Structure 1
Amino acid sequence: MADPADIAQVRAFNRFYTRIIGLLDEGMHKTMHSLSEARVIYELSKDGVTTGAQIAATLGMDRGQLSRLMAKLVDQGLIANLPRSADGRSTPVGLTPEGRAVAARLNAMSDAAAAETLLDPLDPFERRDLVGSMRRITALLGEPEASTLVLRAPRIGEIGWLIHRQALLYHLEQGWNGEFETLITRIYSEYEAAPGTPAKQIWVAELEGEVAGSVFVLPATDGEEGTAQLRMLYVEPMFRGRGVGGRLVAEAVTFARISGYKRIMLWTQDCLVSARSIYQKAGFVLAKEERHQSFGADLNGQYWVLEL
């Protein structure tokens, strides 16, 4: 159940944001058009010819309300009903030349308002934080997009981000304490300090412009010669269930194989059920396990191995 303080914060943000972007103004950008009318005009400018039913579904608008609104826009000469399609079940609509001119003007005013109100007053770092936060809100609350998953090298500042996110997520999800943050800080330092031979590689998964997860491979310090170790697999909660973890592990295994390693191993905990499932699907086999107390919890550590 939602925390009352969180509910209050959401409502406070809604009030703040509707005021700062002018949703309570008499007309959109002080024009004669309401926000609802502007949204319909925008959808028509984006989709070209469409139907009232499709617009209502996209905007989540009541069909009766939309019908009245579109009749008003027809009277203003901004949209026109087009000849029916062959099946005759729906009437396509589109913008008139006057409607396209209004759409272009509203889009230009919206761009200017976003720049002047939200972006121009901020320095580049604040701007990046604001846009990144908006992406995260969209990813958390919106329907998953069929975006292309990109695996790339980390950018400046992202190693620290990966340490921060994993320490925070494992604390929230597993209750692990600061010992885990100290451990993973050392693990990432070991990766950076390791020589380039035998091969090592780190991957950051990116979806919708956001860091969606990461993993890395480096030579194992314990075990037989020719063994690689897969370390620090993680996936952001809002991107779970979209194949990110499986893709990262598959990339790591392929890299270890073509780099000449004989096997790849990893250490995990049996409470991390989703991660274990990914490893099993990739062909890893449980080699041994041992109970230990770490990170403020009683854990069962597991070693998994995949012969290459």
Structure 2
Amino acid sequence: MTVQDIRSFNRFYTNVIGALDYGRHLYAPYTLTESRVLYELAHAPHTDAADLRGQLHLDAGYLSRILNRFEQDGLIERGPSEKDPRRRRISLTGAGRETAARLDERARETVGALLAGVAPADRPRLAEAMRTVRTILGDGDRAPRPEDVLLREPGPGDLGWIVQRNAALYAAEYGWNTDYEGLVARIVADFAEDHDPHLERAWIAELDGRPAGCVMCVRDDAPGTARLRLLLVEPDARGLGIGDRLVTAVVDFARGVGYRDLTLWTNDVLSAARGLYQRHGFVLVAEKPHRSFGHDLIGQDWRLALHSTPE
């Protein structure tokens, strides 16, 4: 590789970015750098100015002018730093969070439109190429952050991934046999063949272009009740709040479409998941010993009252 190769690629990619922001609507009324500062503030609510300057490699005077503009526009508030009283903490106001969310949504829609022109079969190759560039040039050494995680609907192959990863992960961590894989396969097949998209949904948590977690919300047999199923987070993606975001997505969806209750079935050995359910307000309503997946287990039924009546 030569210097010219890199410069050629830079010109190509700059043209791509320019095409994405054709007409300069993507970040308006802010610049790309200002939008990046807003993004960092939205994902790190207790950031100091010095931290921002280091993260974004910005000149102190330039960053100060950006923050002054944000303060004039009512987007930020400044106060004493919790880390060091000599520093100033910066946090977004309600208007600032709304502005950051609007800019983020525009960016997602625009990049989504770009990806729509990429053949599904080519997307894994594109993601791998991007990871390779990041790794070789140094960014790949950075630990993943919660904001790197994207929740999305399943795409081609993702439902098969849910079956495969549930089977492999529970076999590795709990020694469960193929009976569990059969159960997961039936759940996923039922969802794929006959689900109501208005009342049932699945989510994939994506990290660095690969699935890192999943969950489903499906109708239960009891009227007005939804069921949370197949919550999973990959071991190397734990600690990023993915499980919390997936459960929150199910709770918000179930409440939003009008379910009265949300239920789930789990086993007592899944202590981390049970703690997560408790934090979201689920209550244990029944326990029963059973022999499944090659082990003696204690099954548990949990319920969350959503306080609404389904239509």
RMSD: 3.3
Task: Indicate how the Cα distance of structure 1 residues 128 and 168 shifts in structure 2: closer, same or farther if over 3 A, else same.
Answer: farther
* 2:158 corresponding residue in structure 1: 158
Partners of 1:240 and 1:263 lie apart in 2 by 28
SS at match of 1:225: coil
Aligned counterpart in structure 1 of residue 269 of structure 2, from 258, 268, 271: 271
Contact 1:212/1:236 (CA < 8 Å) preserved in 2?
yes
* 1:304 corresponding residue in structure 2: 302
* 1:115 corresponding residue in structure 2: none
Partners of 1:161 and 1:139 lie apart in 2 by 27
- Normalised by the length of structure 2, the TM-score is 0.55
Q: Which runs of 5+ in 1 are unaligned?
A: 1-27, 31-45, 50-122
Q: Is 1:257–2:282 an aligned residue pair?
A: no
How far the C-alpha of 1:192 sits from its partner, in A, is 2.0
* 1:233 corresponding residue in structure 2: 231
How far the C-alpha of 1:253 sits from its partner, in A, is 0.7
Task: Indicate how the Cα distance of structure 1 residues 238 and 197 shifts in structure 2: closer, same or farther if over 3 A, else same.
Answer: closer
Percent pairwise identity: 41
Task: Indicate how the Cα distance of structure 1 residues 254 and 125 shifts in structure 2: closer, same or farther if over 3 A, else same.
Answer: closer
* 1:284 corresponding residue in structure 2: 282
- Residue by residue over 1:148-174, the C-alpha shift from the partner in whole angstroms, topping out at 9 and shown as x without a partner, is 432111010111011111110100001
* 1:58 corresponding residue in structure 2: none
SS at match of 2:147: coil
Higher deviation after alignment, 142-151 or 176-185? 142-151
Read off the aligned partner of 1:144 and give its amino acid letter. Answer: P
- Normalised by the length of structure 1, the TM-score is 0.55
* 2:177 corresponding residue in structure 1: 177
Higher deviation after alignment, 273-282 or 126-135? 126-135
Say how many residue pairs are matched. 193
Q: Which runs of 5+ in 2 are unaligned?
A: 4-55, 60-120, 307-311
* 1:192 corresponding residue in structure 2: 192
Matches within 5 A, 1:1-308: 124=122, 127=125, 131=129, 142-145=142-145, 147-196=147-196, 199-221=199-221, 224-308=222-306
How far the C-alpha of 1:193 sits from its partner, in A, is 3.0
Partners of 1:145 and 1:220 lie apart in 2 by 35
Which protein has the larger Cα radius of gyration, Structure 1 or Structure 2? 1
Partners of 1:208 and 1:132 lie apart in 2 by 9
